[in-house]
């Protein structure tokens, strides 16, 4: 007996596995699962639907509206900020003007006293002081400071300070008859009220 015949006999002798009921059930179950998998659609293979032109237009319009609303809000906020900043700057400037003028008003008072008490109206000293006084008042006027009208005007406690009262039948009631110290204001704010004598 040759080698090939011996190998064939060995193959015939190999024991084939017997099929048990459990083995048959497992094989049938595996086939059912395989069939179910084949029946299920493959979601990954589905191609995404392309947006229509109308859908793209709607999205673009919605985005444009959102951006426009944001721009309007930003514009309103910037406008409010600008107005508030300008108001604060104006307020700081006006307060600075009033504080400064209030401190130099006594100097102006002294120049006016010097002019009023000078006897020699032709002297160079008098003319020099008068010129400085005039220039002083022009500077105050240029920055918005004005003298408060007083003598002959009705008394106003908001802009006048009464330091004396007199009974004078020739004058109307509550009228200012004399000014002891001039008052000044800047815009609608009083820097210093006029000190006056009032007729009752």
Q: Specify whether 138 is located in the same domain as 192.
A: no
Q: What is the mean pLDDT of residues 98-107?
A: 95
The residues near 174 (Cβ < 8 Å, ≥ 6 apart) are: 154, 155, 198, 199, 200
Burial readout 139-175 (b: 16 or more C-beta within 10 A, e: otherwise): ebeeeebeebebeeeebeeebbeeeeeeeeeeeeeeb
pTM (two decimals): 0.61
β-strands 160-166, 189-192 pairing: unpaired
Q: Specify whether 82 is located in the same domain as 134.
A: yes
- The total domain count for the chain is 2
Q: Specify whether 100 is located in the same domain as 129.
A: yes
Residue 16 lies in a domain: no
Q: Specify whether 99 is located in the same domain as 138.
A: yes
Residue 153, domain CATH:
2.30.22.10
Q: Specify whether 127 is located in the same domain as 151.
A: no
Residue 29 lies in a domain: no
**pLDDT above 60: residue 200:** yes
Sign of CA dihedral 40, 42, 48, 49: negative
Q: Specify whether 78 is located in the same domain as 120.
A: yes
**pLDDT above 80: residue 21:** no
**pLDDT above 90: residue 24:** no
Q: State the residue range of the domain holding 79.
A: 67-143
Q: Specify whether 159 is located in the same domain as 132.
A: no
**pLDDT above 70: residue 45:** no
What single DSSP character describes residue 119?
Answer: S
pLDDT for residue 169: 79
Q: Please give the helix or strand (H or E) that residue 52 lies within, else none.
A: none
Q: Specify whether 74 is located in the same domain as 121.
A: yes
**pLDDT above 60: residue 43:** no
Q: What is the mean pLDDT of residues 148-158?
A: 93
What single DSSP character describes residue 165?
Answer: E
**CA separation for the pair 69, 174 (Å, rounded):** 61
Residue 72 lies in a domain: yes
Residue 178 lies in a domain: yes
pLDDT for residue 118: 86
Q: Specify whether 130 is located in the same domain as 160.
A: no
């Amino acid at each position: 007996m040759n080698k090939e015949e011996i190998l064939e006999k060995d193959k015939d002798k190999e024991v084939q596995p017997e099929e048990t009921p459990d083995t048959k059930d497992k094989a049938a179950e595996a086939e059912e699962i395989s069939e179910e998998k084949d029946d299920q659609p493959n979601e990954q293979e589905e191609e995404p639907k392309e947006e229509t032109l109308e859908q793209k237009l709607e999205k673009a319009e919605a985005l444009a509206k959102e951006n426009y609303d944001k721009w309007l809000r930003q514009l309103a906020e910037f406008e409010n900020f600008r107005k508030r900043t300008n108001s604060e700057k104006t307020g700081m400037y006006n307060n600075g003007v009033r504080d400064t003028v209030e401190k130099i008003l006594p100097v102006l008072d002294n120049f006016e006293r010097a002019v009023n008490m000078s006897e020699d109206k032709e002297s160079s000293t008098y003319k020099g002081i008068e010129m400085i006084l005039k220039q002083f008042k022009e500077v105050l006027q240029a920055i918005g400071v004005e003298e408060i009208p007083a003598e002959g005007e009705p008394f106003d406690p908001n802009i006048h300070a009464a330091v004396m009262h007199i009974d004078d039948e020739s004058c109307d009631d509550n009228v200012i008859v004399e000014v002891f110290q001039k008052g000044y204001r800047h815009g609608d704010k009083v820097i210093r009220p006029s000190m006056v004598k009032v007729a009752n």
